[in-house]
A and B are shown apart, each in its own frame.
Chain A
């Protein structure tokens, strides 16, 4: 099946090549625009770049003979500046969930070509016109196993807030997203009743945990490093970063309960130089076997549900999709509306003397 597909693609690309070299006349079937020497993929960088190269870029380069140039980080401001100035350097870019919604509203992104990108294996609700859902990740609790032995770790946000029963320095993200939700859950709000967020209630609860949080982290690598250095014994963080150090033998484990699920997304900026090849890249990123490679590498499963079939059983316990029932989804639509307000309140709260 896979080889047949490959052959078809090769055939199409050969045709495209022929069209580009000589024939100006109409080619039969689907015509392919001329091949650029390279396309530019912008992503958040770090180990994610390495994994994407292994799972998607190498295959793409081999298949089409187009070099994939990587830039980072994902930057909403830059995306807007590029589109508005008409100088779009990226062919596709990673984008945060709420930013994807705002970018769509602002008309900063191209529609995804359903004829090129096959998302039939995706859950219905993530098959949106403008946004390509690339993976799932979650913000959960990472803890030192030498401090919390044999399942004595905090297992809920109420536990996380209970500094008497679970003493020790903590680290949380320096951002309202996740933390407002965690505070409300700790305060007794059921996971399906979090939105719309009650700011007063959330910040009041956050006041209680503030003294126990020694580091408010700002880069994804920080919580993993803080746990490794035993700078803190508990940290919230993205599952892939913990997975990475656990794989390497760190005395760290993950508590998945009540984690905050998010969707990693990619978009094609409006006015991208090679929209056709950008769609081809997204097509490459939707192939289940390749998503399985990516998930194994980083712990972030793709949204092609078939991809799980190709993941080793040893890796499955580290994938957030295994625990969806005990977690909740961050409401990107709510943040697209209220995110700015949340950030302002967060800054003010952070400046407040504890």
Chain B
């Protein structure tokens, strides 16, 4: 980076330093209270916290998977359809993004409950006899989280497909490649960046989820953010909260590094 390019970035760097780096370092300092690793020993040594870390990662992975499953085709479609339909798609994707997570979570409670809209439709249509357990369990948490996070997958995929040079696709078509082959050999490898970006954003945001699992999971689905919040607000054990946060941060970086290594060859291809 030349110095000329450096100076305009100074305000942003200062902002990052004071409002991101500095607090994170302070937090790490908290976690090492009295120069001991006791709180880390507790975070990593007690079955309870490891279980919750594991739960959190499992949920984040599944949410990422479902977001990809739903988000890729949608982003792809929006990037390749007519401008009018793309606009309609954008409205549907972005509108929920501007609505409060809490409102959306409550809306799901109305829709998914035992006497909710979905179950009543299913029962009236004679498809099921007893209401399906869609709420206050793992399923409810999945539905709610995927809904909240889907836009973060759709948008990078959309961007990646748009950036793709249509001439490559035209050339492949001209050479007689099947559409399946075009997808596998051209679209997929060349949009991997978008997939990767979307997946990382969704995964990382999932890790910190709090309200949605608490309300849609019936209290049984416990994610690490809930325990950290408890340590901050209820038990006032800030050193331990800091240690839990630091462990979460370290895991997140590890996953990120792993994912990046995994996708690098295609990235430069």
Contact = CB atoms under 8 A, between A and B. Distances in A.
A178 to B, nearest CB: 14
A77 B233 contact: yes
B140 to A, nearest CB: 10
A258 B30 CA distance: 43
Interface in B205-227: 214-215, 218-220, 222, 227
Interface string B136-165: 100000000000000000000000000000
Q: Which of A77, A78, A225 has the most B CB atoms < 10 Å from its CB? A: A77
A351 B230 contact: no
Interface residues of A, number: 26
A322 B235 CA distance: 33
A29 B61 CA distance: 69
Given A215-B218, A231-B115, 8 more contacts: A76-B236, A77-B238, A229-B109, A229-B113, A231-B135, A344-B48, A347-B222, A348-B47
Nearest to A169: B114
A350 B222 contact: yes
Contacts of A80: 236
B219 A216 contact: yes
Nearest to A340: B235
Chain B: interface residue count, which band?
Answer: 20 to 34
Nearest to A103: B236
A347 B113 contact: no
A217 B219 contact: yes
Interface string A140-172: 000000000000000000000000000000000
Contacts of A216: 218-220
Contacts of B135: 231
Interface in A202-252: 214-219, 222, 225, 229-231
B237 interface: yes
B233 A174 contact: no
Contacts of A347: 48, 52, 222, 227, 230
A339 interface: yes
